[in-house]
Amino acid sequence: MAIAGLFFYLFATITVASAFMVIASRNPVYSVLFLILAFVNSAGLFILLGAEFLAMILVVVYVGAVAVLFLFVVMMLDVDFAELREGFLQYLPVGGLVGFILAAELIIVVGAWTLAPELTASPKLPIPNPSEMTNTEALGRVLYTEYVYFFQAAGMILLVAMVGAIVLTLRHKEGVKRQIIADQVARTPATAIEVRKVESGKGI
């Protein structure tokens, strides 16, 4: 148990510290790298909780895809972040007020937290014993049965997102040479190469 506690504080401290560095560092590339550090350490926290599937998904999706996408954007777009931050103080009062209200609400809400006893006693779906079943199997058992509607609906939403991205950004430029496999395969030596006799001592 002592080792688990030690690792919990290790992961938790690094997560909080790197999350702070995400917003504190001046260089946006450093920010993204700290974000990745925060993700990896959160994955460690999930493993301590016994949620190994979530931990792996966090690394694969957030570190592997989202953070890399962020890095791409940060490096590709020449955004002057120092300039973006210039108006920061100007928005501080309003932003601070909104943040303060949300924080106050959260405190009130969490302070009033009373979970009905019968809720914890009989959750809608029984949680399987982690020693008998892996996370992945437990999720798979409900994802395609109990939650099949949500799963399919999410799939349709992703289809819309894909259609939208293509509709709004794909442009067929004129004058770009494209690969047409059929034409390329169908070429014969007669059309593909030209044989010229070059007399010795002379160029073409």
Q: Which residues bind another protein (CB under 8 A)?
A: 105, 108-110, 112-116, 119, 123-124, 144-146, 148-150, 153-154, 156-157, 159-161, 163-164, 167-168
- Report in angstroms how near the CB of residue 46 gets to another protein at its nearest: 18
Nearer to another protein, 27 or 152 (CB): 152
Nearer to another protein, 118 or 194 (CB): 118
Please tell me the distance from the alpha carbon of residue 42 to that of residue 48, in angstroms, as a whole number.
Answer: 10
* Cβ pair 135, 52 in contact under 8 A: yes
Nearer to another protein, 4 or 119 (CB): 119
- Report in angstroms how near the CB of residue 203 gets to another protein at its nearest: 47
Nearer to another protein, 56 or 133 (CB): 133
Please tell me the distance from the alpha carbon of residue 204 to that of residue 201, in angstroms, as a whole number.
Answer: 10
- Report in angstroms how near the CB of residue 116 gets to another protein at its nearest: 6
* Cβ pair 140, 133 in contact under 8 A: no
Tell me the helices (H) and strands (E) count for the chain, helix number first.
11, 0
Using the structure block, give the residue that is written with the tokens 């690094």. 14
- Report in angstroms how near the CB of residue 71 gets to another protein at its nearest: 22
Nearer to another protein, 114 or 131 (CB): 114
* Cβ pair 41, 4 in contact under 8 A: no
- Report in angstroms how near the CB of residue 115 gets to another protein at its nearest: 7
Instruction: Please name the residue ranges forming H helices in 112-147.
Output: 117-121, 135-143
* Cβ pair 38, 18 in contact under 8 A: yes
Q: How far is residue 196 CA from its own chain's centroid?
A: 57
